[in-house]
Amino acid sequence: MVKGTIRFEQVLVDGSDTYWMESRPTEGGRSVVMRRTPDGSVEELTPQPYNARDRVHEYGGGAVAIRDGSVYFSNFDDNHLYVRSRDGRIRALTEDSKMRYADGEIDVARGHWVGVREDHTKSDIFAENTIVAVNTDGSGERVLVSGNDFYAFPRLSKDGTRLAYVTWNHPNMPWDDTELWTARVAEDGSLSDFEKVAGGDGQSILQPKWSPDGVLYYISDESNWWNIKRFKDGETETVAAMEADFTSPNWAFGQSDYDFIDASTIICNYTKNGLWHLAQIDTESGTLRPIESEYTSFSSIHTDGQRVVFLGGSPTSFPAVVMAKVNGSEPQVLQKSTELTIDPAYLSIPRSIEFPTENGKTAYGIYYRPTNPDYTAPEGEKPPLLVLSHGGPTSAASSVLSLAKQYWTSRGFAVLDVNYGGSTGYGREYRDRLKGQWGIVDVDDCSNGALYLAKRGEVDGKRLAIAGGSAGGYTTLASLVFRDVFNAGASYFGLSELEVFATETHKFESRYMDSLLGPYPQAKDVYYNRSPIHFTDQLSCPVAFFQGLDDKIVPPNQAELMVEALRKKGLPVSYVAFPGEGHGFRRAENIQRAQDGEFYFYSRVFGFEPAEHIDPIPIDNLDED
């Protein structure tokens, strides 16, 4: 699962070279910039101790920009913006470690890195977000756009005369309500003639891009679906109307779900029924032509007009950096996330399912049956079920081959990855089901998914577990406390006390609860009544907690409060803390410890003997008899 495995974060093209960012668990999660030249040689461009990753919005993303062979990157340890010149020299462009930089583009003519800056010099919770121009010779920087709470996607037109960007204000998140603006760029880089192009009134706009002929395109959910639109001759129009989402929520910077092969051809991805597809769009006729592919997941799509590169994966293939010629030649894998090969006989192939949920509605999920040719279940015994509640909570379950899921199915568990109401990929209306209903709709859908499979006789209704991380950890805890469906659970850096999160979290998410629960403190009673920590008397099953001690998004006290309450209640509880880890585990040994620890926990509370030795984790209140 972790050794020899890397995680891709971004892929880019520059000239004839292809670049990608990879995170290496074996190096403590360090992110590095890699370059592949046309002759097939691959080189690491950011050696130790550099870590090409940023902290803007805490989730980061978009840490790297490349132009003419020079690599501009944010460094995680000191937050400085660096440049690696074509001769290999690396030097800092900024000096203040309380400034953070992301989502930049290079303005060659003016010698500027233009991107998002997050200023923490005065406060973390009230950090100031702006669009800035940093001189690429390291001589200083200046603010170009300010005044709103957040900015993203600053994008220069091909001739450098116009800048487009997306902005929004509290209490909105970028999938709620954003605005698209443009400005004229003067010779010295200053901006004028600001114009609001689209957005507001509950419309989410993402990913503005300028076509080769200078037309501004963007993605908007004005029609209920995130479709590609454009602003041309003073009018906005949909390029290809479709009941599908062409992007996903903007949690991290650096998204690129479409690009231009030429002025009349877009290469893009879209998601429908839980699966992603690749397609071309004729911008003149609006015709969309799906491209047959072995992959079911696509991200970070870029093209130079001759070739297309993207991150791709499928139920039988690990994530990889993939290149395809626009003439339709067979895709070529440039870099695999792992050299590991697994006999397909051991792989559980997922299938999309839908099931009834509350109020006569339908919810969705991706279901994996237990699969291992070396073992046969006892006659008449049905498998335990592990329900996964994804984070976000606007994220979505993925069908890409995941050893974390195959870990369970190869050990006899069935797995249901639930796309509960609020998930992406089913339109704005489905995403909005969670507004004001967090802790209700998601909990109902996870519970009903488990009950649906148990009723069908596919799983053991007395061995139902649920697990999730971050917001998914909250859904896990809420499901265990407020419903009597699951028999065990595991929370990874999950929320348990919503009022604490509303008052102590970072700026990006500090008003997120307004839409999920209601404005605080006006809706204080809702926060209280949806917080699992206050209702541990309703909890009657074992729970394991896994927590990074350096987590700034969900502080450790969120888990520790719950653990202490369960200890006092006398329920089996485990708490495994990881020093040096933040919101999501990056170190190989910690990823393995958590995964094995969760399996060990279920083996003890469900009463089965693992087929392999697993280092135990401490479990309080476990009846040894």
Q: What is the pLDDT, as a whole number, of residue 144?
A: 98
Q: Where are the domains of the chain?
A: 72-336, 344-606
Q: What is the pLDDT at residue 586? A: 80
How many whole angstroms separate alpha carbon 446 and alpha carbon 448? 6
Is 355:449 a contact under the CB 8 Å cutoff?
yes
| Burial label, 612 (beta-carbon count in 10 A; 0-12, 13-18, 19+) | exposed
User: How many whole angstroms separate alpha carbon 289 and alpha carbon 299?
Assistant: 18
pLDDT at 275 over 90: no
pLDDT tens digits for range 71-110: 999 999 999 999 999 999 999 999 999 999 999 999 999 9
Six token digits for residue 377: 């279940």
Tell me which amino acid residue 484 is: D
What's the whole-number mean pLDDT along residues 461-487? Answer: 96
- Burial status of residue 381 (CB atoms within 10 A of its CB: 0-12, 13-18, 19 or more): exposed
- Tell me the per-residue pLDDT of 556-588, one tens digit each, with 9 for 90 and over: 988 998 899 899 999 999 999 999 999 888 888
Q: For the purposes of burial, counting CB atoms within 10 Å of the CB of 578, is it exposed (0-12), middle (13-18) or buried (19 or more)?
A: buried
Could you say which of 3.30.70.270, 3.40.50.1820, 3.90.850.10, 3.30.300.30 is the CATH number of the domain covering 344-606? 3.40.50.1820
Residue type, 195: E
Neighbour-count burial of 480, counting CB atoms closer than 10 A to its CB (0-12 exposed, 13-18 middle, 19+ buried): buried
Over residues 450-471, the mean pLDDT reads: 96
Q: What is the pLDDT of residue 73?
A: 98
Structure tokens at 155: 């994008």
Cα–Cα distance measured from residue 382 to residue 370, given in angstroms and rounded to the nearest whole number = 10
Contact 217, 238 (CB under 8 A): no
Tens digit of each residue's pLDDT (9 = 90 or more) over 305-353: 999 999 999 999 989 999 998 877 789 999 999 888 899 999 999 999 9
Q: Which CATH architecture has domain 72-336?
A: 6 Propeller (2.120)
User: Distance of CA 166 to CAs 1, 207, 233, 429, 452, Å?
Assistant: 37, 8, 20, 22, 42
590 against 503, higher pLDDT: 590
Say yes or no to pLDDT of 625 above 50: no
Mean pLDDT of the region 273-296: 92
Structure tokens belonging to residue 559: 């888990």
Q: State the pLDDT confidence band at 624, using cuts at 50, 70 and 90.
A: low
Strands (E) in 304-384, as ranges, are: 307-314, 317-325, 332-336, 351-356, 362-368
CA distance 9 to 20: 7
Query: Cα–Cα distance between 588 and 1 in angstroms, integer?
Result: 9
The H helix count followed by the E strand count for the chain is 9, 36
Mean pLDDT of the chain: 94
Helix/strand/coil for 443: helix
Give Cα 567 distance to the centre of its chain.
33
Structure tokens at 557: 């006290």
Is 180:208 a contact under the CB 8 Å cutoff?
yes
Model confidence over 366-413: pLDDT tens digits?
999 999 999 998 899 999 999 999 988 998 998 889 989 999 999 999
Q: How far apart are CA 342 and CA 318, in angstroms?
A: 10
Taking residues 439-453, what's their average pLDDT?
Answer: 98
